[in-house]
């Protein structure tokens, strides 16, 4: 069975993540607390379940296993792309350039090391899950800040799934900042930042029956 992905803030780059990992492996309590305790599916307490290696980046990924539903969960640092070998910052960059109106050809040129087919796959996938992501972000933005005028923020982008998603991420950030005015928004990592929330939201609320959790 493919492990489910849980995206966590375990440092912002490979070096910070490796630091966290060595503290975790040494049994450091604080490092351990950065991992989710309970299974997002059934709420049972999860146990360590070894790790696997992301070869291209050269880091280990921890796994947790739920004794209740027997699923294993890969705990992914937010700067890595879920289910893709590379860094999330590349997916974010492709998304941003596409929003700026880059054609496929120009995008492939600008992205250099990523093939056109890969770029198209990334962007189409984001377009496909955008509607569900927007629904989750809107729901949670409303919960955090009931006065936020979401209709005004989102309406102009109704017909364009990528722009709508981008606007919904921005709106959700506004709602978060209302609670935590010092919150830092990594503008170049909008999707990566959003993945942490989508993963946390799936853990807290579950996902509709038969649907996989949304990630970007």
Cβ distance to Zn ion smaller for residue 8 or 41: 41
Tell me the CA distances in angstroms from 37 to 14, 92, 159, one per residue in order: 23, 29, 40
Question: Stretches 58-66, 115-123, 150-158, 190-198: which one binds Zn ion (CB under 5 A)?
Answer: 58-66
Residues in 118-157 at the binding interface with Zn ion, rule: CB under 5 A:
none
Q: Per-residue x/- mask for Zn ion, residues 27 to 46, rule CB under 5 A? A: ------------x-xx-x--
List 3, 11, 36, 68, residue binding Zn ion (CB under 5 A)? 68
Q: Binding residues for Zn ion, how many (CB under 5 A)?
A: 7
Residue 202 is a binding residue for Zn ion (CB under 5 A): no
- With a CB cutoff of 8 Å and minimum separation 6, the contacts of 130 are 161, 162, 164, 165
The structure tokens listed for 165 are 């998603």
Which residues fall within 8 angstroms of residue 40, CB to CB, at 6 or more apart?
4, 6, 73, 202, 203, 206, 213
69 binds Zn ion (CB under 5 A): yes
Question: Two tokens at 185?
Answer: 């928004």
User: Which chain residues interact with Zn ion by CB under 5 A?
Assistant: 39, 41-42, 44, 66, 68-69
């Amino acid at each position: 069975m493919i492990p489910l992905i849980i995206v966590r803030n375990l440092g912002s780059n490979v070096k910070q993540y490796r630091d966290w990992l060595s503290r975790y492996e040494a049994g450091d309590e604080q490092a351990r607390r950065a991992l989710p305790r309970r299974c997002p599916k059934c709420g049972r307490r999860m146990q360590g379940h070894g790790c696997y290696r992301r070869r291209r980046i050269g880091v280990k990924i921890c796994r947790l296993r739920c004794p209740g539903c027997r699923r294993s969960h890969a705990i992914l640092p937010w700067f890595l792309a879920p289910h893709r070998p590379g860094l999330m910052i590349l997916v974010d960059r492709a998304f941003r350039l596409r929003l700026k109106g880059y054609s496929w050809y120009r995008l492939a040129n600008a992205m250099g090391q990523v093939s056109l087919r890969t770029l198209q796959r990334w962007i189409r996938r984001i377009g496909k899950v955008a509607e569900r992501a927007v629904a989750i972000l809107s729901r949670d933005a409303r919960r955090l800040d009931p006065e936020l005028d979401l209709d005004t923020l989102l309406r102009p982008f109704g017909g364009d799934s990528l722009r709508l998603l981008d606007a919904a991420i921005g709106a959700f950030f506004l709602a978060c900042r209302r609670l935590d005015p010092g919150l830092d928004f990594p503008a170049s990592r909008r999707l990566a930042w959003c993945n942490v929330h989508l993963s946390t939201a799936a853990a807290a609320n579950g996902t509709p029956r038969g649907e996989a959790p949304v990630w970007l």
